């Protein structure tokens, strides 16, 4: 759905890091992994301590006044003209695609446009701006990839995950059936329509298991929470983690990720 | 058997119970999954080798231009059709359209009507109306014929009986028409054809829909695969076409890309078996065709949508059904769960305008906003954005962009609004947010293992021992202490 073809900038000296609220309290390892991967590329990472949430939960629930207030509190955190990287297609999509709509007719419209124009989904940034080199130091393993719907369709980065994983020589990637189908998370959708959401995630977990993947990696913590949570609840032989945690483990030969 | 009784369709509000029922029905879910997988595959194949993005852009442009000139094009269409001898009628709503059609039937003393597929006539509940007024209306599209025979409504706008498998259809035909039970689709189809052939000959009036109405030439275009559309519009002495006012395009040239997009998006066909272009009644030197042709143009809420700069995109729809075929929710619950004439993503953005948001308020939420619908829409309707727009309309959630969709604010509840106010209060105070999250992670042993509807089928995620804010803060302090380049701190 991202219509405009984006021109990738030259690798900058410095970036802003927007961590997202799910990473903040549930999966901070994914955030730290992202920061370490950027630093490894010689990029200085600025993490504004006053960041909270992009506002998406209220936005997709229809509470745009509340979403705008919270989003407005983020707009002043990126005064320098550096890219803003986000370890999530969903929050990235909110900031890149929906901020301009949300602040249309509002006093912060210009600032929102400036922030939106500098937003990059982090794996896309690592691959296409940093041209990251990944030396795989890990043991041979098999994973499957779940690209979130927002990474795929709002940020248009569906091709990034496979190309990053391809760079890891000891990792074999298996493809599950219907990789482009939603896992059923959808934010408040999972709570408003729990039965439909459960039917969707049941099929997703089954697809991974059928493909013979003991582990999946994903670009978004919402999907991670949903798919891994269901696999655990139904005792399926499947674990998952954020793709950034996985990449960091492979290149640093550590195993400190928050695999769930 | 998948029987959804008439009572289940009303009111639309009972989406949840119907969806739950559908999810428990393995047969139904299997029917939809198989059918949707097949349709998605066919569509992908049909567009192979095409620059789909360019074609979609072209299609979207045609529809946008047509809508921008809609009032003028409608007048031009009326004038050309009238010149060609086709009588044009305008109906403000479904009831008026029904009355117009009945009046035409009464004037001709028509008792038997044969129908081609028309979703607008479903919207108007035309069959019921005619039957109440002593006029028999028989559906001739095979899917519609099956659905009518079963006393149901269509579960898909292109394939009305897609919720039934061959076995179920065989059983139905056997019970209702005495056809031998069979798994042979060709045999079943031939049997239905035989029954319908008689009805075409006996019909006093044929009623059809319209896919595109071309203003420049006064041409009504009808896309179909079974030939029933051609029979309906040529065999009976009178043909009444009925359509929504948005279906008009300026020229035949502009219609062409829409046709290419429609058939490929809908059924994965490069062209349908039949494509009818109707421009006038039978002329004195012609041997066949109806002696009278009417067009009923139905508004039924459309001009209300037309007033809104964003919602107007809803009217671009060419009714291909691709959004349904690709919708993971529709695929799971099927068309009847929605309880509306148009199900799936397009229904969820269209029906609120036809019935009011108060009646349809669950529909815009029945989506994970995965965006598959918007991605495949041949005329690039931003369906996910419009779903969000209707969500905000239903909770009156945007004081900056106030507007008045019918039923605006009907879903707003004080409890829910309070939760979002609390959420705002916390998240616009960074110091407080950091403190609260740090406390939550510190007290994580107290975290409840259950979290409402979420944890009915999922393990609740565990809070981390430290937040990312804390981790980054600690790293910054360490790096400062060792006088390495500052990273991860505040600017």
Structure tokens at A193: 């329509």
Instruction: Provide the pLDDT for residue B451.
Output: 80
Quick one: B423 and B280 in the same domain? no
B340 φ/ψ angles, rounded to the nearest 5 degrees: -130, 165
Domain total in chain B? 2
Q: How many contacts, defined by CB atoms under 8 Å, are there between A and B?
A: 235
Could you say which of A51, A182, A225 has the minimum Cβ distance to residue B370?
A182
pLDDT, residue B477, reads 84
Q: How far is B382 from chain A (nearest CA, A)?
A: 9
Q: What is the mean pLDDT of residues B285-296?
A: 96
- In the sheet that holds A14-17, the strands lie side by side as A44-46, A14-17, A84-86, A119-121
State the best of A28, A62, A100 to mutate against chain B, taking most chain B CBs within 10 Å. A62
| Among the ranges given (B121-130, B144-153, B453-462), the one the predictor scored with the smallest mean pLDDT | B453-462
Q: Which residues of A touch B470 (CB under 8 A)?
A: 28
Q: Which residues of B touch A232 (CB under 8 A)?
A: 458-459
Contacts of A180 in chain B (CB under 8 A): 372
All residues at 6 or more sequence positions from B365 whose CB lies less than 8 Å from its CB, including other chains: A188, A189, A192, A193, B391
pLDDT band at residue A131 using 50, 70 and 90 as cut-offs: very high
Tokens 């709570």 sit on residue: A191
Report for B242-251, B436-445, B482-491: range of highest mean pLDDT: B242-251
Residue B9 has pLDDT above 60, yes or no: no
C-beta atoms of B452 and A191 within 8 A: yes
Same domain, B133 and B267: yes
- Identify all chain B residues contacting A23, using CB atoms and an 8 Å cutoff: 468
- For residues B221 and B86, state if they share a domain: yes
Asked if residue B443 is part of any domain, the answer here is yes
pLDDT category at A257 given cuts 50, 70, 90 is low
Q: Among the three residues B272, B304, B336, which one is the final residue of a domain in this structure?
A: B304
Residue indicated by tokens 């009464």: B106
| Per-residue pLDDT at B245 exceeds 70 | yes
Average pLDDT over residues B314-337: 98
- Are A62 and B397 in contact (CB < 8 Å)? yes
In the sheet that holds B248-249, the strands lie side by side as B248-249, B212-214, B219-224, B274-278
Domain extent at residue B436: 417-481
Of the given ranges (A152-161, B23-32, B475-484), which has the lowest mean pLDDT? B475-484
- Residue range B76-95: mean pLDDT, rounded: 98
Structure tokens, B474: 């600690």
Write down the ipTM of this complex. Answer: 0.96
pLDDT of B395-420, one tens digit each? 999 999 877 788 999 989 999 999 99
pLDDT digits (tens, 9 = 90+) for A212-244: 999 999 999 999 999 999 999 999 999 999 999
Could you write out the three-class secondary structure of A179-212? Answer: CCCCCCCCCCHHHHCHHHHHHHHHHHHHHHHHCC
Of B368, B385, B428, nearest to A70 by CB-CB distance is B428
Q: Which chain B positions have a beta carbon within 8 Å of A154's beta carbon?
A: 371
Residue-range domain boundaries for chain A: 14-129, 141-252
Provide mean pLDDT across the span B50-68. 97
Is B324 a domain residue? no
Question: Tell me: domain A141-252, CATH 3.40.50.1860, correct?
Answer: yes
Whether residue B469 and residue A190 make contact (CB cut-off 8 A), yes or no, is no
Q: Is the pLDDT of residue B314 over 60?
A: yes
- pLDDT band per the 50, 70, 90 thresholds, residue B3: very low
Question: Quick check: is B185 in a domain?
Answer: yes
Question: Does residue B490 belong to any structural domain of this protein?
Answer: no
pLDDT digits (tens, 9 = 90+) for B175-224: 999 999 999 999 999 999 999 999 999 999 999 999 999 999 999 999 99
Nearest to A192 among B365, B427, B473 (CB): B365
The pLDDT confidence band at residue A259, using thresholds 50, 70 and 90, is low
- pLDDT one-digit tens code per residue, B458-489: 999 999 999 999 999 998 887 666 544 444 44
In a domain, B465, yes or no: yes
Closest residue to A195, CB basis, from B23, B328, B400? B23
Question: Is B405 contained in some domain?
Answer: no
Residue B370: list chain A partners with CB under 8 A. 149, 153, 181-182, 186
The token pair that represents B228 in the structure block? 């029933």
pLDDT of residue B448: 85
Average pLDDT taken over every residue of chain A: 95
Average per-residue pLDDT in chain B? 93
B328 vs A152, A200, A260: nearest CB: A200
Q: Report the pLDDT averaged over residues B340-344.
A: 96
pLDDT above 60: residue A160: yes
* DSSP result, B206-240: EEE--SEEETTTTEEEEEESSSHHHHHHHSSSEEE
Instruction: Match 């671009």 to its residue by tokens.
Output: B316
Residues A74-96 pLDDT 10s: 999 999 999 999 999 999 999 99
Q: What is the pLDDT of residue A258?
A: 60
Min CA distance, B491 vs chain A (Å)?
Answer: 7
**C-alpha distances out from residue A201 to A15, A198, A204, B79, B323, Å:** 35, 5, 5, 54, 20
From B269, B304, B339, the end of a domain falls on: B304
Q: Which residues of A touch B468 (CB under 8 A)?
A: 19, 23-25, 28, 31-32, 47
> Percent of chain B at pLDDT above 90?
88
């Amino acid at each position: 759905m991202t219509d405009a073809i984006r021109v990738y900038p030259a690798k900058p000296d410095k970036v802003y890091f927007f961590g997202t609220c799910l990473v903040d309290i549930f999966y901070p390892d994914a955030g730290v992994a992202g920061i370490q991967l950027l630093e490894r590329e010689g990029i200085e990472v600025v993490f504004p301590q006053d960041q909270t949430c992009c506002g998406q939960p209220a936005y997709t629930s229809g509470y745009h006044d509340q979403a705008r207030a919270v989003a407005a509190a983020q707009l002043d955190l990126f005064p320098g003209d550096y890219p803003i990287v986000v370890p999530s297609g969903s929050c990235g999509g909110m900031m890149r695609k929906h901020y301009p709509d949300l602040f249309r007719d509002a006093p912060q419209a210009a600032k929102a446009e400036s922030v939106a124009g500098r937003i990059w989904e982090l794996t896309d940034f690592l691959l296409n701006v940093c041209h990251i080199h990944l030396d795989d130091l890990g043991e041979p393993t098999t994973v499957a990839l779940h690209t979130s719907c927002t990474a795929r369709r709002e940020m248009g980065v569906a091709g990034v995950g496979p190309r990053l994983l391809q760079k890891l020589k000891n990792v074999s990637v298996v493809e599950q059936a219907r990789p482009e189908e939603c896992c059923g998370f959808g934010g408040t959708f999972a709570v408003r329509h729990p039965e439909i959401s459960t039917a969707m995630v049941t099929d997703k977990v089954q697809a991974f298991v059928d493909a013979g993947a003991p582990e999946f990696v994903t670009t978004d913590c919402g999907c991670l929470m949903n798919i891994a949570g269901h696999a655990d609840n139904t005792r399926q032989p499947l674990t998952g983690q954020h793709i950034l945690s996985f990449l960091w483990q492979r290149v640093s030969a550590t195993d400190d990720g928050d695999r769930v | 058997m998948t029987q959804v009784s008439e009572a289940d369709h009303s009111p639309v509000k009972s989406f949840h119970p119907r969806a739950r029922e559908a999810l428990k029905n393995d047969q139904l879910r299997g029917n939809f999954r198989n059918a949707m997988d097949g349709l998605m595959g066919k569509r992908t194949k049909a567009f192979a080798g095409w620059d789909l993005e360019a074609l979609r852009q072209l299609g979207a442009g045609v529809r946008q231009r047509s809508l921008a000139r809609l009032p003028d094009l409608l007048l031009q269409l009326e004038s050309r059709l009238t010149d060609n001898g086709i009588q044009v009628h305008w109906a403000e709503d479904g009831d008026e359209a029904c009355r117009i059609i009945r009046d035409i039937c009464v004037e001709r003393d028509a008792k038997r009507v044969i129908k081609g597929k028309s979703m607008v006539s479903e919207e108007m509940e035309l069959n019921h109306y005619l039957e109440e007024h002593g006029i028999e209306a028989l559906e001739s599209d095979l899917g519609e014929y099956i659905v009518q025979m079963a006393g149901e409504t269509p579960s898909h706008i292109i394939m009305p009986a897609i919720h039934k498998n061959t076995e179920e259809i065989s059983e139905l035909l056997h019970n209702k028409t005495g056809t031998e039970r069979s798994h042979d689709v060709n045999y079943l189809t031939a049997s239905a054809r035989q029954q319908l052939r008689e009805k075409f000959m006996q019909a006093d009036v044929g009623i059809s829909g319209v896919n595109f109405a071309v203003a420049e030439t006064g041409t009504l275009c009808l896309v179909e695969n079974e030939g029933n559309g051609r029979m309906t519009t040529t065999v009976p002495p009178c043909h009444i076409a009925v359509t929504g006012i948005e279906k008009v395009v300026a020229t035949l040239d502009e219609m062409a890309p829409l046709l290419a997009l429609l058939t490929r998006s809908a059924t994965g066909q490069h062209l349908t078996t039949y494509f009818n272009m109707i421009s006038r009644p039978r002329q004195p030197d012609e041997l066949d065709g109806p002696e009278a042709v009417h067009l009923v143009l139905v508004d039924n809420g459309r001009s209300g949508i037309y007033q809104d700069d964003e919602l107007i995109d809803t009217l671009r729809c060419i009714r291909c059904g691709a959004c349904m075929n690709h919708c993971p929710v529709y695929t799971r619950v099927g068309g009847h769960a929605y309880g509306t004439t148009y199900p799936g993503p397009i229904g969820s953005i269209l029906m609120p305008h036809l019935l009011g948001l108060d009646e349809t308020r669950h529909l815009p939420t029945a989506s994970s906003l995965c965006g598959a619908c918007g991605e495949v829409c041949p005329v690039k309707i931003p369906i996910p954005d419009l779903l969000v727009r209707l969500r905000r309309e239903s909770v009156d959630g945007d004081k900056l962009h106030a507007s008045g969709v019918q039923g605006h604010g009907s879903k707003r509840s004080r409890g829910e609004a309070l939760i979002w106010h609390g959420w705002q209060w916390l998240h616009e105070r960074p110091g407080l947010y950091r403190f609260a999250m740090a406390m939550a992670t510190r007290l994580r042993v107290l975290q409840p293992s259950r979290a409402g509807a979420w944890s009915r089928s999922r393990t609740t995620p565990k809070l981390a021992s430290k937040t990312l804010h804390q981790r980054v803060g600690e790293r910054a302090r360490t790096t400062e202490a060792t006088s390495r380049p500052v990273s991860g701190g505040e600017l």
